[in-house]
Amino acid sequence: MEQTLEKALRIYFIMGSQNCKQDPVSLLKEAAKAGITAFQFREKGKGALTGSPKLELGKKLREVCWEHQLLFIVNDDVELVDKLEADGLHVGQDDRSVQEVRDEFPEKIIGLSVSNSHEVDESPIELVDYLGAGPIFGTTTKPDAKKPVGIEWIQDLREQFPTIPLVGIGGIHVDNAASVMEAGANGVAVISAITDSVNVTHTVRQL
Ligand SMILES: Cc1ncc(COP(=O)(O)OP(=O)(O)O)c(N)n1
Ligand SMILES: Cc1ncsc1CCOP(=O)(O)O
Ligand SMILES: [Mg+2]
């Protein structure tokens, strides 16, 4: 990966088969051609694949990322990182600890979710490569999401960490993505903005 992580996280598409009304591989291809800059394989929740079907889908999605020089990040599933030769792993506050995953993957990109100051205070931020901040706006995509924190949370994090790569997540769509960037984020992480779009190419370009 030649470009900086900040630039690579600019349009960060997250998805699993459970989010898709169409074939996930075709959807990722279309989004990749339209200009997404990173992808997170998040096969999780109602209807998600497990075991070898999950692995096989992950391989196909990874191929698309390789073809388009997109970052390929795995959500939660530590076991899949090496199996899928992923560029990195995203963990939240209730997942494997940052210290453990950094010990296991010294060279991989590690992203961490932070939703409030307490989580920041309790997290070894110096061990992670980027932060996922949110949910910024209301979302129905993640049923167990915390309460929306607003773009003020991006501003707070940017003030506290002037240089860390930072993406906003949660309820981000074409009409509010600019406000997240203006608050200090390097990128927007989106699921339904793209999976529910009737014109993926147009949506990605607008984002
Ligand atoms: C970029 C990014 N930011 C935040 C999250 C959410 O992670 P987490 O809180 O662990 O929730 P799940 O996605 O695992 O349900 C993310 N996945 N990506
Ligand atoms: C995974 C995740 N983490 C916080 S909100 C969220 C869901 C984001 O989905 P959407 O972009 O559809 O609101
Ligand atoms: Mg998680």
Instruction: State the pLDDT at residue 71.
Output: 98
Q: What are phi and psi of 107, to 5 degrees?
A: -100, -5
Say whether 41 counts as a known binding-site residue. Answer: yes
Q: Which atom of ligand 2 is nearest to the CA of 190?
A: 11
Catalytic site positions: 42, 113, 142
Q: Is the CB of 113 under 6 A from ligand 1?
A: yes
The whole-number pLDDT of residue 3 equals 82
Cα gap 68→14, rounded to integer Å: 16
Instruction: Give residue 190 CA to ligand 3 midpoint distance, Å.
Output: 15
Which residues contact ligand 2 via a Cβ below 6 A?
134-135, 139, 141-142, 145, 169-172, 190-193
What's the pLDDT score for residue 88?
98
What count of other Cβ atoms lies within 10 Å of the Cβ of residue 161? 15
Cα(149) to centroid(ligand 1), Å: 15
> What atom in ligand 1 is closest to the CA of residue 132?
3
Q: 5-206: what fold?
A: TIM Barrel (3.20.20)
For residue 86, the CA-to-ligand 3 centroid distance in Å is 16
Per-residue HEC secondary structure of the chain comes to CCCCHHHHCCEEEEECHHHCCCCHHHHHHHHHHHCCCEEEECCCCCCCCCHHHHHHHHHHHHHHHHHCCCEEEEECCHHHHHHCCCCEEEECCCCCCHHHHHHHCCCCEEEEEECCHHHHHCCCHHHCCEEEECCCCCCCCCCCCCCCCCCHHHHHHHHHCCCCCEEEECCCCCCCHHHHHHCCCCEEEECHHHHCCCCHHHHHHHC
Question: Which pLDDT belongs to residue 2?
Answer: 64
Residue spans of the domains in the chain: they are 5-206
The yes/no answer to whether this complex scores an ipTM above 0.90 is: yes
pLDDT tens string, the chain, 207 residues long: the values are 568 999 999 999 999 999 999 999 999 999 999 999 999 999 999 999 999 999 999 999 999 999 999 999 999 999 999 999 999 999 999 999 999 999 999 999 999 999 999 999 999 999 999 999 999 999 999 999 999 999 999 999 999 999 999 999 999 999 999 999 999 999 999 999 999 999 999 999 999
